């Protein structure tokens, strides 16, 4: 399996020469790059070469600043919530054993409130499975269904807390990207590494939570 690793952001490249991408093996890279490599000054470390599923959405010569991926569900909190719900049911049973004397069709009434937190956590974790790539001008997100959205920094109009993933929602005029909480901080730092010297107008994005750097 091959993966595409792009050259660092413009300010980190050597003078002269065309911008080219290098195809490297997934087990390593042409120059010995390993997990934790920084693609641009000031950006967080990335876990390794850019996966081909993300790299194919880059434009010709577009530099990678950072990428990260949430690829698994955290089961610990989910099991803890489920255990807490079962404990509540056990305690309710000790206080009112007749709780289970109702018809089978009505047993969902005590079960749903007790297990709903664990179920909602599992759904949110599943919906937050996605990969995020930050370039020198845009954020690219590939979700768990393989759908890809791109939003340029300058086109961000609103920044909100994301109810779906629990992370950050960036909205533009026609596109929106969802950043899961596991990746939101690194994505913010990567964006900041490319916009720290950008002059902002007074009518900037609507960002009540102050997330944008």
Question: What is the model's pTM?
Answer: 0.71
The 3-class secondary structure across 23-75, one letter per residue, is: EEECCCCCCCCCCCECCCCCCCCECCCCCHHHHCCCCCCCCEEEEEEECCCCH
Helix (H, G, I), strand (E, B), or coil: what is residue 96? coil
pLDDT value at 143 more than 90: yes
Query: Which two three-digit tokens encode residue 101?
Result: 């004397």
pLDDT value at 20 more than 70: no
Cβ count near 154 (within 10 Å)? 11
Dihedral, CA atoms, 76, 82, 86, 89, nearest 10 degrees?
150
What mean pLDDT comes out for the span 120-148? 93
pLDDT in tens, 39-97: 989 899 999 899 998 999 999 989 999 999 998 887 777 788 878 888 887 877 787 77
Looking at residue 98, its pLDDT comes to: 73
Confidence class for position 183, pLDDT limits 50, 70, 90: very high
Query: Which two three-digit tokens encode residue 100?
Result: 């289970």
pLDDT value at 211 more than 80: yes
Tell me how far apart the alpha carbons of residues 194 and 84 are, in angstroms, rounded to a whole number. Answer: 44
Q: Domain residues of the chain, as ranges?
A: 2-71+129-195, 75-126
Looking at residue 116, its pLDDT comes to: 83
Looking at residue 193, its pLDDT comes to: 92
- In DSSP terms, which residues pair with 170 in a beta bridge? 159, 177
């Amino acid at each position: 399996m091959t993966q595409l690793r792009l050259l660092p952001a413009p300010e980190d490249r050597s003078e002269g020469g065309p911008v080219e991408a290098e195809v490297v093996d997934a087990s390593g890279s042409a120059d010995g790059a390993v997990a934790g490599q920084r693609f641009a000054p000031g950006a967080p470390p990335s876990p390794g070469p850019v996966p081909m599923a993300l790299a194919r959405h880059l434009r010709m010569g577009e530099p990678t600043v950072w990428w990260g991926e949430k690829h698994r569900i955290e089961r610990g909190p989910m099991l803890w919530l489920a255990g807490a719900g079962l404990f509540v049911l056990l305690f309710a049973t000790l206080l009112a054993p007749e709780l289970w004397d109702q018809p089978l069709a009505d047993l969902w009434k005590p079960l749903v409130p007790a297990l709903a937190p664990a179920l909602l956590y599992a759904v949110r974790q599943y919906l937050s499975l996605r990969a995020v790539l930050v370039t020198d001008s845009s954020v690219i997100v590939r979700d768990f269904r393989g759908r890809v959205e791109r939003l340029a920094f300058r086109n961000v109009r609103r920044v909100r807390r994301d109810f779906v993933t629990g992370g950050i929602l960036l909205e533009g005029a026609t596109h929106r990207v969802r950043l899961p909480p596991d990746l939101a901080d690194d994505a913010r730092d990567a964006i900041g590494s490319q916009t720290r010297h950008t002059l902002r107008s007074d009518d900037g994005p609507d960002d009540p939570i102050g997330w944008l750097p």
